[in-house]
Structure 1
């Protein structure tokens, strides 16, 4: 089980169930919304429950997905594909210790030109 919240605590949640090892997304949308790469882990949407969600809002970032954030503090918390029953949860929003270790980099074909990936983890172009 993992618990987490946004910066101000108005959105708080529990992930109770399997959670995949996190990945670091380098796509342009994640970089723009988070300010750099975005690390997240995927779980089945039924594993996610909210203890507080009064300021949770969703932004339709594209025709295929939406992004969940706190409209009070601006924390970017979730990414969900419209046609899937899983949800990506920001690793940075989880309470520590998480016990999680970064597993891979995704969308590296779109990564920013201002940094290099310097670890030996697998890299997926998309």
Structure 2
């Protein structure tokens, strides 16, 4: 279990935002094929929060039923995966990468290891790209960044009501 805290999060464009109060239960990395496809990645980090401690603070997610038991919530504007939901459960799972401070929640387990990438153990041996000699590219990206900041805003994008 993760320590109890008030956490906010949302999608990349800021159209959908949420707040999770209280404890985040069972933070873990799911390696199942459905989570891989839903995340467009090799695994999906998730943690549960009680529905009573969960609030959408901006927008509404779009939902896709990935099975008869589970639906997945995402932003219809930018596509960010946000939720793994079992509608009958008293909790909803949030994607840990969508938290404003994803570093604050450390996974305690991994699941569905049969579909985990076989080469994960070799990642630390891969060469690391050198830091750029110039920050020109990073400065250009920063000055034209359309991504929602990692904190709640009254409105987004700035100067426009959503």
TM interval, shorter chain, is 0.7 to 0.9
Q: Secondary structure at the match of 1:22?
A: strand
Bigger Rg, which one:
2
Query: How many equivalent residue pairs?
Result: 116
Return the structure number with greater helix share: 2
> Which residue of 33, 48, 67 corresponds with 1:62?
67
Find out whether 1:51 has 2:82 as its counterpart.
no
Q: Partners of 1:29 and 1:21 in 2: how far apart? A: 19
1:94 aligned to which of 80, 92, 99: 99
Q: C-alpha distance in 1, partners of 2:102/2:46?
A: 15
Contiguous gaps of at least 5 residues in structure 1: 119-126
Kept in 2: contact 1:13–1:49 (CA 8 A)? yes
TM-score, normalization: structure 2? 0.66
| Aligned residues: CA RMSD | 1.7
Structure 1 runs (4+) greater than 2 angstroms displaced: 110-113, 115-118
Kept in 1: contact 2:96–2:102 (CA 8 A): no
Cα 1:7–1:69, aligned 2, differ >3 Å: closer, same or farther?
same
1:84 equivalenced with 2:114 (yes/no): no
Cα gap change, 1:23/1:17 in structure 2, threshold over 3 Å: closer, same or farther? same
* Secondary structure of residue in 1 paired with 2:120: coil
Which blocks of at least 5 consecutive residues in structure 2 are unaligned?
1-5, 123-162
Normalising to structure 1: TM-score of the pair?
Answer: 0.84
Task: Tell me the equivalent position of 1:121.
Answer: none
Equivalent-residue separation in structure 1 for 2:104 and 2:86 (angstroms): 26
